[in-house]
Amino acid sequence: TSGGQFGGIEQGTPGSHFGGTAQGISGGQFGGTTQETSGGQLGGTAQGTSGGQFVGTAQGISGGQFGATAQGTYGSQFGGVAQGTSGGQFGGTTQGTSGGQFGGTA
C-alpha cells in the first residue's frame, strides 16, 4: 500500500503508519512497535531506527533519544542511562560518552 495505514498491521508500506505494528516502513510510525523504520518513531520500541526516538527503548538510534534507555545512540540523550553515546548526556548515568556530561555519574 502506498497510502496511509491507520490501525492493524502493514508490511513494506512507504506511507505513514498510525497504530499497530510496522515493519520496514519508510514513513512515520506513531504507536506500536517499529523495526528498521527510516521515519520518526513516537512511542513503543524502536530498533535500528534512523529517525528520532522519543519514548520507550532505543537501540542503535542515530537520532535523538529523550527518556528511557539509550544504547549506542549517536544523538543527544536526556534522562535515563546512556551507554556508548557520542552526543551530550544530561542526567542519569553515562558510560563511554565523548560528549558533555551534566549531572549523574560519568
Find the mean pLDDT for residues 43-60.
50
With bands split at pLDDT 50, 70 and 90, how would you rate the model's confidence at 13? very low
- Percentage, residues of the chain above pLDDT 90: 0
57 pairs with which residues across the strands?
69
Compute the distance between CA of residue 2 and CA of residue 35 in angstroms, rounded to an integer: 18
Compute the distance between CA of residue 99 and CA of residue 39 in angstroms, rounded to an integer: 25
pLDDT at 50: 52
Compute the distance between CA of residue 7 and CA of residue 79 in angstroms, rounded to an integer: 31
Degrees, nearest 5: CA angle 57-48-1? 110
Is residue 11's pLDDT more than 50?
yes
pLDDT digits (tens, 9 = 90+) for 69-99: 545 545 454 555 545 545 554 555 545 545 5
pTM of the model: 0.13
Is residue 23's pLDDT more than 50?
yes
29 Cβ contact partners less than 8 Å away, ≥ 6 residues apart: 17, 22, 37, 39, 40, 41, 42, 44, 46
Degrees, nearest 5: CA angle 46-100-34? 5
